[in-house]
Amino acid sequence: MKRFLPAAVVLILGFSLLGASELRVSGKLRKGFEALEIYNYFAAKDYFYKALKKDSVPASYGLSVILEVWNNFLENHHTEPFRSDAERNRNRLAFEQAKSENSARAYRDFMDTYPDAFEYNKAEEAYEARLFMEETAGDDVQEYRNFIQDYPESPFRESAEDRIYEKYTKKQTPAAFLKFIRENPDNRNVESAWRKIYSLEIQELTPNALAAFSIKYPQYPFLDELKSDFNYATTRYYPVEKNGKWGFIDEDGNLKIAPKYDFVEEFKESIALVGIGDEVAYIDKSGRQITDFKFESGFSFINGFAVVENEGLYGVINRQGAEIIDVVYEDIGEFSEGLIYADKGNGYGYFNTEGVLVINYVFDNASDFKNGLAVVEVGGKYGLVNQSGKAVTEFKYDWIEPFPADGNPARTRIGDRFGELRLCKCRMRYRSRI
C-alpha cells in the first residue's frame, strides 16, 4: 500500500507550495487529498466525487490513486470476507472515472477491464452514445456514411441514417427526395422518401395526375397502391342513408362504405368529410380515416389541402391528415400558387405548403395570390406584394381588384378616381394609370 502514497503526497505538497489561492483549489478537493494522506480512502472518494465538476483533472487523479489501491488490495486478497465489497467499490470508482472523462475510449477501456461489473450495461450505453457523437462531430453526410459502414450494429445506426435523410431533403422538393433515393438506396428512409414524392406530386387525386406520375416515376415501388388510387379516382361515390346513418355507394349501387356516420359530404379529391355527433373527420375511398374525430368543422379538399376548425379558430391539414398549420388562426384563406394567408390576431402573413411561415405577420388584411401577386392592406391603404412579400406598388389605393387570369389589367380606386394597374411581364414592372 505504501507504494501509492508518494504520488498523493507529491501532489499535496505541490498544492501547498504553490498556494491554494494560486491554484484556486476547492475545499472539497483539498479535503480529499488530506483524507488520502491518512489512508481514509472512503472519505477521500466522496470528496473527489463532489469535486469532479469544478476540478475534474486533480479530482480524477485522486480517484485514480484510490482505484489503484483497490486493485492492489484485490491482487493480494483472493478470498472473502472483503473481496466482493472491494470489487464493487473498485468497479464503481472505475466507472465514475470513465464518466468524468466521458469519452468513447474511456468507456471502452472500462468495459474491457471490468466485463463483470454491475455498471457494464451503463458503460456500454454511454460508449455507444459517445462513439456516435465523436465519429459524427462534423455533422457531415460522409461522416454518417462512414459511421454506418464502420459500426453497422450500432444502436445509433438509425440515427445516422435519419440524419442523412434530413440533410438530403432539407428543401423538401421531389428532386431532393429523388436524389436521396438514388444515392442512398439502403437507407431505411427510402420508403418514406418515395411516399413524400407522391404526396408532393399528387396534390389532387385525379386520373390525369396519377397517369402523369406513373410516367414520370416508373421506378415507384408501390404500384399496387398507385393502381388502387387510380381505381378510386375513376369511380364516383354517392352518399347513401340507411336507418338514420350515412355511408357511400358507387355508381353501380354497390355499397362501398357502410352507413355509420351521422352525416357525410361528397368526396372531393377522393377524400370526404364525415361526422359523428359534434365532431368531424376525413376518410378516403377505402373508408380509412385520415384524421381522428377531433374537429368541430371542416371544408372540402382543394389542391391537396383542407381547412379545419375548432372553437372558431382555423388550421390546415394535408392529404395524409397531418396538421401542417395549427388550428390557432382567426382567419385563413385557401392555398393559391403555393401560399395561404392566415391571421392570428396580430396581422396577416403567408405560409407555404410545408406549413412554414414565409411572409411575416405584417399586413392588416390579405388575399389569395393570383399571377404571382396578392392584394394586401397596410394602414388602411392597399398595395400589391409578390411571393417574397416585397411590395411592388405603393400602399396608396383605397381599393385594388386582383389581376385577372390573363394578368391585365387590375382596376384600382383612389378617392373618387378610378384607374388600373398593368403588369409589364417583360420587365416585371407595374404601371399605374389613374
What's the pLDDT tens digit per position in 307-356? 999 999 999 999 889 999 999 999 999 999 889 999 999 999 999 988 99
SS3 sequence, 319-381? CCCCEEEEEEECEECCCECCEEEEECCCCEEEEECCCCEEEEEEECECCCCECCEEEEEECCE
Higher pLDDT, 43 or 87: 87
pLDDT for 38: 52
Percent of the chain having pLDDT more than 90?
59
For the stretch 94-131, pLDDT in tens is 888 888 889 999 999 999 988 988 999 999 999 999 99
Ranking 168-182, 251-265, 397-411 by mean pLDDT, the lowest is 397-411
CB of 362 within 8 A of CB of 349? yes
Mean pLDDT of all residues in 404-408: 66
CA distances to 3, 29, 308, 335 from 349, in Å: 74, 58, 18, 13
For the stretch 288-297, pLDDT in tens is 999 999 999 9
For the stretch 183-235, pLDDT in tens is 999 999 999 999 999 988 887 788 999 999 999 999 999 999 999 999 999 99
pLDDT for 20: 39
Predicted structure pTM score: 0.65
Sign, CA dihedral 271-317-172-182, equals negative
HSE toward the beta carbon, residue 39, CA cutoff 13 A: 7
**Highest averaged pLDDT of the listed ranges 78-92, 197-211, 254-268, 392-406:** 254-268
| Cα 428 to Cα 423: distance, rounded to the nearest angstrom | 7
Query: CA angle, corner 353, sides to 348 and 359, nearest 5?
Result: 30
pLDDT for 5: 41
DSSP string, 16-51: HHH-HHHHT--HHHHHHHHHHHTT-HHHHHHHHHHH
| Cα 122 to Cα 373: distance, rounded to the nearest angstrom | 59
| Cα 32 to Cα 23: distance, rounded to the nearest angstrom | 15
Q: Which of 90, 98, 160 is nearest to 125 (CA)?
A: 98
pLDDT for 63: 65
